[in-house]
């Protein structure tokens, strides 16, 4: 026998633990696709346009569980952010790179990406990448 209906309604409306990822991108289409895909996996998105703002968000919020960097941010900025992340004491977080298929591997040779999603972007590809990283994080505890 299941729970009475009132318990189901109360449990269903209980606030869920918010999981959050950081997205650095200047592309509004990519931003919207990532937000939609992340929500399906249970994540909220904190979006910034510049790498400096992304680093500051990471310093302020240790709960940001993963990072999505879009190559729409100039490559030198993305590379600079990744180099700085590698040397910062704020902890390394799993990374998803969104890249132009012709430029695979050029954005961030110094920081290992957990997933790479190439253009043209699709919600399915982004959702799959976020889900894979999430499942890995969950296994690590």
Residue 57 in this model has a pLDDT that exceeds 90 = yes
DSSP letters spanning 35-47: HHHHHHHTEEEEE
Residue-wise pLDDT tens digits, 106-139: 554 456 788 989 889 999 999 999 999 999 988 8
Beta-carbon contacts of 10 under 8 Å, excluding residues fewer than 6 positions away, are: none
87-93 contacts at long range (C-beta below 8 A, 24 or more positions apart): 88/55, 88/58, 90/58, 90/59, 90/62, 91/62, 93/22, 93/58, 93/64, 93/65, 93/66, 93/67
Q: Quick one: which of 128, 129, 68 has its CA closest to 93?
A: 68
Mean pLDDT, rounded, of the chain: 80
| pTM for the model | 0.79
Q: Which has the higher per-residue pLDDT, 114 or 10?
A: 114
pLDDT at 10: 43
Q: Which has the higher per-residue pLDDT, 63 or 2?
A: 63
pLDDT at 102: 61
Q: Which has the higher per-residue pLDDT, 110 or 70?
A: 70
For the chain, which domains are there?
15-140 (3.40.50.2300)
């Amino acid at each position: 026998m299941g729970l009475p209906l009132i318990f189901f309604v109360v449990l269903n409306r209980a606030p869920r633990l918010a999981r959050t990822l950081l997205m650095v991108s200047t592309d509004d289409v990519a931003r919207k696709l990532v937000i939609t895909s992340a929500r399906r996996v249970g994540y909220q998105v904190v979006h910034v346009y510049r790498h400096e703002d992304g680093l500051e968000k990471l310093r302020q919020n240790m709960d940001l569980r993963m990072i999505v960097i879009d190559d729409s941010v100039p490559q030198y900025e993305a590379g600079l952010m990744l180099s700085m992340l590698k040397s910062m004491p704020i902890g390394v977080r799993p990374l998803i790179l969104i890249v132009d298929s012709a430029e695979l591997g050029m954005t961030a040779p110094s920081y290992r990406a957990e997933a790479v999603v190439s253009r043209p972007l699709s919600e399915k590809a982004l959702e799959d990448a976020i889900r894979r990283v999430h499942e890995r994080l969950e296994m690590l505890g």
